[in-house]
Amino acid sequence: MQEEVFNELADLALKSSGQAIPKSKSYLIEARLAPIARREGFGSMADLVHCLKSRANPIFAAEIAAALVSKDTWFFRDRDCLQRIVEDVLPKRLKASNTGRLKVWCAGGSTGQEAYSLAILLADEMPPALRGAKIDILSTDICKVVTEKARIGRFGHYEVQRGLSIRRLIKHFTRLETGQWEISEDLRSRVSFRQHNLLESAGGLGKFDVILCRNVLPSMAKPARKRVVESLAEQMMPGAMLLLGSGENLIGITDKLEPARDFRGGWVAAGTANAEASAA
């Protein structure tokens, strides 16, 4: 790929979603944009970029920007963490909150596997301490296509075989004529989906007890990471927890959050981790 074509697309990714795509990964750009290029009949990435600039169509630009991001996800990715959220974090939050209601946000939730996995755990293995609680799960993503797919709740042959046991598949999904598998109405009703760019204010989404932002930040440039994390921190209720993917951390990114004492990968408002541990 020519240097200026790469620069143009990398710049678009950085500005629109915060993604930092290194030059060594220019093949990723080609792979992710190939379906759009084919559909639009562009012979090369240079044609695509030319059109992007000359059309100045924000919808097309947003589509390109969303396509440049990895959407990879699967059911029960890091099962232990999801399990501990259900068994440990949510019951503690419920006890502390007194409202009988819990709000969970999967920020950068892609096609919904993360949110649906939580919903499946809540349906199959609801801990007694959570009985009767109203638990809202919201999953958001910058990409309109994945958000829509998540909402419809239909998954392909490969998707339903990554991370999902066969017993859970036949319990919670129905096979359609098309060969796709549709998640049950009950599970769909437990999760809602919205398109949202994490670089923008999340004020309209309300405040949450638990926020998952897993496998989203590592591919972002450092200033974007800071901006996203601080905006997530704004949406945390007092005592809430942010959960990052395994191996991710916020050291050197923000001083608004600190590691939770009793939950690896969990982050809480700065200055509260000790208080939390002694209250527990």
Partner 1 sequence: MKTCLIVDDSRVVRKVAARIVRDLRFEVMEAGDGAEAMRMCRENMPDAVLLDWNMPVMNGLDFLRSLRREEGGARPLVVFCSIENDAEHINEALRCGADEFIMKPFDADILESKFAEVGLV
Binding site for ligand SAM (CB under 6 A): 17-18, 69-73, 77, 108-110, 114, 141-143, 146, 197-199, 214-216, 245
Cα-flanking dihedrals φ and ψ of residue 246, to 5°? Answer: -65, 135
Binding piece for partner 1, criterion CB under 8 A, among 83-91, 167-175, 187-195, 251-259: 167-175
198 binds, among partner 1, ligand SAM, none (CB under 5 to 8 A by kind): ligand SAM
Binding piece for partner 1, criterion CB under 8 A, among 22-30, 104-112, 157-165, 269-277: 157-165
Q: How many CB atoms lie within 10 A of CB 58?
A: 9
User: In terms of CB distance, is 7 or 246 closer to partner 1?
Assistant: 246
178 binds partner 1 (CB under 8 A): no
162 binds partner 1 (CB under 8 A): yes
Cα-flanking dihedrals φ and ψ of residue 27, to 5°? Answer: -60, -30
DSSP 44: S
With beta carbons less than 8 A apart as the criterion, state whether 104 and 210 touch: yes
Nearest to 212 by CA among 253, 182, 169, 242: 242
In angstroms, rounded to a whole number, what is the distance separating the alpha carbons of residues 168 and 278?
Answer: 38
DSSP 245: P
Nearest to 36 by CA among 66, 6, 75: 66
163 binds partner 1 (CB under 8 A): yes
Binding piece for partner 1, criterion CB under 8 A, among 45-53, 85-93, 162-170, 267-275: 162-170
CB of 77 to ligand SAM, least distance (A): 5
161 binds partner 1 (CB under 8 A): yes
Binding mask 63-82 for partner 1 (x = CB under 8 A): -----------x--------
151 binds partner 1 (CB under 8 A): no
153 binds, among partner 1, ligand SAM, none (CB under 5 to 8 A by kind): none
Q: Is 154 helix (H, G, I), strand (E, B) or coil?
A: strand
166 binds, among partner 1, ligand SAM, none (CB under 5 to 8 A by kind): partner 1
Q: Which residues contact 184 (CB under 8 A, 6 or more apart)?
A: 172, 173, 174
